[in-house]
A and B are shown apart, each in its own frame.
Chain A
Amino acid sequence: MSRKISEESYRKTRSFRLHQWFTGEKDLFLDQVEMKPQEPFTESKKVKKKREKEKQKMLDQIYNLERNRKTGPFQTLYRVVSVLFCICMVSLFLVAVSYLPPLGDAGNPANNEVPQRYIENGLQETGAVNIVTGMILDYRAFDTLGESHVLFIATCAVLILLRLDGNKKKLQEEEASDSAHEPENDVILQTVAKIVVPPIMIFGIYVILGGHLGPGGGFSGGAIIGAGLILYLNAFGFEKTERFFTAKTYKWMCFGALGCYCLAKSYSFFTGANHIESIIPLGTPGAILSSGLILILNICVGIVVAGTMYTFYVMFRKGGF
């Protein structure tokens, strides 16, 4: 049932405010969200003149007619040749694909005795219900150790390239310019982060711990935890995260995890190579504390991956923490 209400009482209703907000007359959240007015871009006359001169010089070089007459045909030729090359490449690939064995056939040459062995004996030999986890963290654990080291070395390379070390002033400048056009306390982002970050962390830990029981493992769980940390950092700023996560923490965390991985795998290689009975029980398949070393190795890999993701982000954003 609809009834007619007076203009006065209509002005007090929520729908009127919503309509106002929708048409842009009045902001519903005015004075409730912290906003920072963006300052107009300013620079001194000298700097501006220099910049414009440099830019003009460069544009002259690029759009120089005399030079373009020489390089222009080459540019066109380059584009045409690269498109033709890609078309040739893809047609060659498609011809190769048409001679590949049919997709999804059980008799394909890839389905030989190796996966048969992994599937039939994997559960008894590694104790892991998830055969892929049993494969990568038991049969091929050395390979996974190499992967963790690749991540660690990539972080080291990024740290070398981007770290503004020993230059406190520059670091502060970078931090100031980083959030120059953003509100310091974004209410929407902070509320969402408060609600969402704890479930993300718990889900990441669940994925890491359940790596030998179902889909998951150290790499995916670590990436989830790293994403949660990045969201937390974006919402609450560097002061909050630097209380528990700095470069020193990362260093010791990675060192501890990789060292633990090395020690655990050294033990299993030593006992395996010398035909000594390993004292680590495999447990009942399906229980959380089962499958020997796989749970520990998953946790180590998860720590390394989470730290790596977070460190990449911090390095790209600020260059030091």
Chain B
Amino acid sequence: MDLSNLMHNYPEAVSMILFAIGFSNLLLQKNLIKKIIGLNIMDTAMYLFLALKGYIVGRSAPIVTDGVQSVEAYINPIPAGLVLTGIVVSVSVSALMLSLTIRLYRRFHTLNLDEISTMLKKEGL
């Protein structure tokens, strides 16, 4: 383990810790809405990681200014496009999960996963 490199890559380490926070939220919370929030935190950590992969120190955003078109002037534009795709998919998935949660709430009048599974067991499902 290269500790000095880890210290230099601390934003990436932060994104990994965020990912783990989201994942532990997903495992430990019983409320469905909080589980969805955990999944969204994981998404955000991934965007941070991808955006950091394209960053180069001392270069500007990839918008051509003053006709300068050399690679030395701009950061990598590809991760930005990938993050855009990720955001759209994450919005759609969260909307789908929230609507399923609303359906569950209408049926069982609770968001607690334990109570829902107890009720399901009571109904013999």
Contacts and interface: CB of A to CB of B under 8 A. Distances in A.
A24 B49 CA distance: 50
Contact of B78 (A90, A98, A114, A316): A114
Contact of B2 (A98, A120, A155): A98
Contact of A154 (B59, B62, B78, B92): B92
A133 to B, nearest CB: 9
Contacts of B76: 110-111, 115
Contacts of A151: 88, 91-92
B88 A130 contact: no
Interface in A33-91: 58, 61-62, 79, 82-83, 85-87, 89-90
Residue of B3, B19, B69 with highest tally of chain A CB at under 10 A: B69
B52 interface: yes
Nearest to B121: A61
B57 A104 contact: yes
A100 B4 CA distance: 12
Q: Give chain A's interface residue range (CB within 8 Å of chain B).
A: 35 or more
A98 B6 contact: yes
B64 interface: yes
A103 B8 contact: yes
Best-surrounded residue of B52, B87, B99 (most CB of chain A within 10 A)? B99
A315 interface: yes
Contacts of A154: 91-93, 95-96
Interface string B37-48: 000000000000
Given A86-B20, A97-B12, A105-B56, A132 B118 contact: no
Looking at chain A's contact residues, is the secondary structure mostly helix, strand, loop, or mixed?
A: helix
Contacts of B69: 119-120, 123
B63 A83 contact: no
Interface string A89-111: 11001110111101111101011
A250 B70 CA distance: 43
A123 B77 CA distance: 13
Interface stretch (A8-16, A157-165, A178-186, A261-269): A157-165
A313 B89 CA distance: 17
A81 to B, nearest CB: 9
A287 interface: no
A191 interface: no
A236 interface: no
A143 B85 CA distance: 8
Interface string B93-125: 101101110110000000000110011001000
A215 interface: yes
A61 B118 contact: yes
Interface in B71-95: 71-74, 76-81, 84-85, 87-89, 91-93, 95
B77 A158 contact: no
B90 to A, nearest CB: 10
B27 A82 contact: yes
Nearest to A305: B88
B88 A97 contact: no
Contact of A131 (B19, B52, B63, B99): B63
B100 A161 contact: yes
Contact of A94 (B16, B93, B118): B16
Given A136-B81, A157-B96, A131 B6 contact: no
Contacts of A161: 96, 99-100, 102-103
Given A94-B13, A151-B92, A62 B55 contact: no
A86 B24 contact: yes
A110 B54 contact: yes
8 closest cross-chain pairs (CB), A and B: A154-B92, A104-B57, A98-B6, A90-B20, A93-B16, A131-B62, A82-B27, A86-B24
6 contacts: A89-B20, A103-B55, A131-B62, A135-B77, A140-B81, A316-B102
